[in-house]
Amino acid sequence: MTLVILAAGMGSRYGGLKQIDPIGPGGEFIVDYSVYDALQAGFDRVVFIIKKENLDLFRDTAGKRIEPHIRVEYVFQQLEDLPDGFSVPEGRVKPWGTGHALLCAAGAVDDGFAVINADDFYGRDSFDKLAGFLREAGEDGREHYAMAGFRLANTLTDNGTVSRGVCETDGAGYLTRVTERTKIRRNGARVQYAEGDGWVDLPAEATVSMNCWAFPPTLFGHLKDKFKAFLATNADPVKGEFFLPFAVQDLIDEGVCDVKVLATTAQWYGVTYHEDREGVVLALKAMHENGTYPPSLWQ
């Protein structure tokens, strides 16, 4: 099983390349914990999707620590990596989004795989459940995907708003719809999202997507078709982005796939804002001290 890590984002709100910010007591990055947890769950390969100009930096930091323990490959998300017949629009400088990033790994992944963000801490339970799903997934002519479903209250920051995909499921626990809420915050004991000029309550127990998925390799063919359709109809060629959850939603609506929501009680940690950093440092330190993690992940 392969763990695909999306690490090409710009990190503009954080103010730096947060994927390689030392945050553990031994200088670990958040992504070190994801790889460590995935390794314990049974994953045996990691594919980093990065910017080409960051290759040496990743290899000399995270790669140096991780490579002795698990196979590591690097692929690049490049703006000009487009299907035949398409070119980069004039004025376009930002990447094409998470769907395009994952497509860049198509040539490197030929087995069941999980996808995560490099700068999110997902917890061991999430990787155990994704790995279990991939081991048990069968082939019956229909695409079977999975998503780790987090409790909304476990994914918030005290330092601003966050974007989350709020999930709806059917009676059997399969995803029917993800609604992107781009500004969610705590307001005292309440959780709310911005809509128009006001704020609307959300249940703290709502299930949300944190871009933590499990797929068979057949996803890449569907994703390629969806990306072509996006490029052909994109109303904002300079800033529009091709997001992975939107492509999966289309496949659900078309009856191509089902997506099992794997509920996890794991606590999410992340550094959406620089002010989040201290809290994450303290939480990870506590997890080393209570035995969740060894004194040093890789030694």
Higher-confidence residue of 237 and 15: namely 237
State the pLDDT at residue 19: 62
With bands split at pLDDT 50, 70 and 90, how would you rate the model's confidence at 14? very low
- Statement: residue 69 has pLDDT above 70: yes
With bands split at pLDDT 50, 70 and 90, how would you rate the model's confidence at 17? low
Higher-confidence residue of 11 and 20: namely 20
Is 121:270 a contact under the CB 8 Å cutoff? Answer: yes
CATH class of 2-289: alpha beta
Listed in sequence order, the DSSP H helices in 165-216 are: none
Higher-confidence residue of 18 and 1: namely 1
State the pLDDT at residue 68: 95
Average pLDDT over residues 71-85: 92
Is 120:30 a contact under the CB 8 Å cutoff? Answer: yes
- Statement: residue 191 has pLDDT above 50: yes
State the pLDDT at residue 235: 86
Q: Any residues with CB less than 8 A from the CB of 257 and at least 6 apart, and which?
A: 142, 143, 144, 145, 222, 248, 251
Lowest pLDDT segment from 46-55, 65-74, 134-143, 204-213: 134-143
State the pLDDT at residue 166: 94
Listed in sequence order, the DSSP H helices in 59-123 are: 64-66, 98-103
With bands split at pLDDT 50, 70 and 90, how would you rate the model's confidence at 18? low
- Statement: residue 51 has pLDDT above 50: yes
Average pLDDT over residues 79-98: 89
With bands split at pLDDT 50, 70 and 90, how would you rate the model's confidence at 22? confident
Rounded to two decimals, the pTM is 0.92
Kindly list the domain boundaries of the chain, sorted by start residue: 2-289
Higher-confidence residue of 139 and 106: namely 106
Average pLDDT over residues 80-103: 90
Paired strand residues for 3: 46, 114
pLDDT tens for each residue of 176-189: 999 989 899 999 88
C-alpha distances in angstroms, 170 versus 84, 173, 257, 258, 261? Answer: 39, 5, 14, 11, 10
CA–CA distance, 30 with 118 (Å, rounded to integer): 7
With bands split at pLDDT 50, 70 and 90, how would you rate the model's confidence at 10? very low
Q: Give the chain's mean pLDDT.
A: 91
The DSSP result for 244-269, as a single string, is HHHHHHHHHHTTSEEEEEEEE-PPPE
Q: What percent of the chain has pLDDT over 90?
A: 71
| CA 105, chain centre distance (Å) | 14
